Structure 1
Amino acid sequence: MKSTIKYSNNGCTRQALVKMIEDYIDYYNNKRLQRNLGILTPMEKHKIYLQAA
């Protein structure tokens, strides 16, 4: 995660850091396409899995 998010310790507030982490988790789970998941996001693959069960 540190390599993906621009990391700097320039007086960033705790609230700003929490917001950056929440935004990254949202991106990682809901917007990031994965080739090994059939060019789907992790959440899309999860929904398909739940429908099949």
Structure 2
Amino acid sequence: MSFRIDSDLKKEFEAFCDAAGISMTAAIHLFIKTTVREQRIPFEIKASSKK
């Protein structure tokens, strides 16, 4: 699987994963497994407020 992501966002996610002691691959794997197991996105999604 491959996808494109903004380089700044990737750096921030990588820093978060490093601080959490998990690789980016493992974090994405956990997201996918949880989504499939629970049959839902495992966090709340909200519309952004208009500015």
Give the TM-score of the pair, scaled to structure 2.
0.34
Larger Rg: 1
Which structure has more relative contact order (CA 8 Å, sep 6+)? It is 1
Give the TM-score of the pair, scaled to structure 1.
0.33
